[in-house]
Chain A
Amino acid sequence: MNYCSLSLQRTIDHLLMSPNFKRPRKILSPPPVKGFKPYGPDLGGENGEPVMLLFEEYEALRLCDYDMLNHHHASQEMGVSRPTFTRIYASVRQKIARAFVEGRQITVEGGKVYFDSGWYHCASCTCLFNNPEMEPEVTSCPLCGSKDVGTSDALPENAYIYPGSEDVCVCPACGMEIKHQPGRPCGQQICPSCNTRMKRKGKPGCRK
């Protein structure tokens, strides 16, 4: 197969394969500034295109190098898997290095994110809501009126799981299924009924 037909084959493969769903990244708050500018005698004004950091990349840098979390814990904070987090983090390191070396501006914008500040969670109807008025303080759920509300920091771990994701951990011994949590390998999940290590559904070594 020559190079041309190989690249054509790749394009067809790419079209046939449905890409994985991109999970929205959870961000605590947007950065305090919109970007950074270099200064110095050699820079006669604008030096080329600015380097664009995505919000999720800023958040990865903040969690990892400012809050000193490891990749595993930081990925759980952002609601993505550990390998995805590492890719985001590698990308931000590369971009910042490029901005430093080439003397470019840095702007922070965009990305598939949602912000986590100021959200409340109701335990009885499982809804999330915010309080744009700030005053008075939230005491009851606006939807069901339950008093059982808390800030979203105190959320149960699975509250952020996106309803579109169909990843399921399955027990190879008894066949019990629980929803997969991003950032937590299925092999570390213990089956609640028979205490066996679980596996990802659809992977070899598990029941149908």
Chain B
Amino acid sequence: MKIAITSTGNSPESTLDQRFGRCSYFVVYDTESGATEFIPNPNKNAEDSAGSGSLQLLTSRKVSKIVSGEFGSKIKDTLDRMKIQLIVLRKPEKTISQIIELLDHAKNK
């Protein structure tokens, strides 16, 4: 299963980005293999429809969960239809490695 996390930078020490559509990087974490992939977000400075553009990027990688601080009002309906789970974490100080640790912990339980 692949999980996307929004990130402010391209290292595991960067923190969670509080925006979904206009975050700096997406981290795609594969729970089976433990591999992480950092993808720079091309929609970071987009004028509009940054959310749907980012969503296309993530669906092409077949993610089934997205962790972010905030989602726009347009995106939730689309994600519901695509059966992608949203996880809203209002903790901007959490680093990517801490979140991956949490996810691993949840899987092993």
Contacts and interface: CB of A to CB of B under 8 A. Distances in A.
B79 to A, nearest CB: 7
Nearest to A24: B73
Interface stretch (A93-101, A127-135, A167-175, A192-200): A127-135
A125 to B, nearest CB: 7
B34 to A, nearest CB: 17
Q: Is the interface of B mostly helix, strand, loop or mixed?
A: mixed
A143 B103 contact: yes
Interface string A102-121: 00000000001111000000
A39 B102 CA distance: 58
Interface residues of B, number: 27
Contact of B99 (A112, A126, A143): A143
A132 B87 contact: no
B109 A127 contact: no
B61 interface: no
A140 B89 contact: no
Nearest to B102: A144
A145 B92 contact: no
Contacts of A133: 83, 85
Interface string B68-101: 0100010010011011111111111000000100
Contacts of A114: 73, 76
A132 to B, nearest CB: 5
Given A115-B76, A133-B83, A142-B85, A126 B105 contact: no
Contact of A145 (B67, B69, B107): B107
B87 A145 contact: no
A141 interface: yes
A128 to B, nearest CB: 4
B78 to A, nearest CB: 11
Contacts of A204: none
A163 B18 contact: yes
A34 B102 CA distance: 41
Given A127-B88, A163-B90, A145 B105 contact: yes
Contacts of A127: 87-90
B35 interface: no
Interface string B49-80: 00000000000000001010100010010011
A143 B73 contact: no
A126 B80 CA distance: 21
12 contacts: A114-B76, A126-B91, A129-B86, A130-B86, A132-B82, A132-B83, A133-B85, A142-B65, A143-B87, A145-B107, A145-B108, A145-B109
Interface of A: 112-115, 125-133, 140-145, 163
Given A127-B90, A128-B90, A143-B87, 6 more contacts: A128-B88, A133-B85, A140-B109, A141-B106, A143-B89, A144-B102
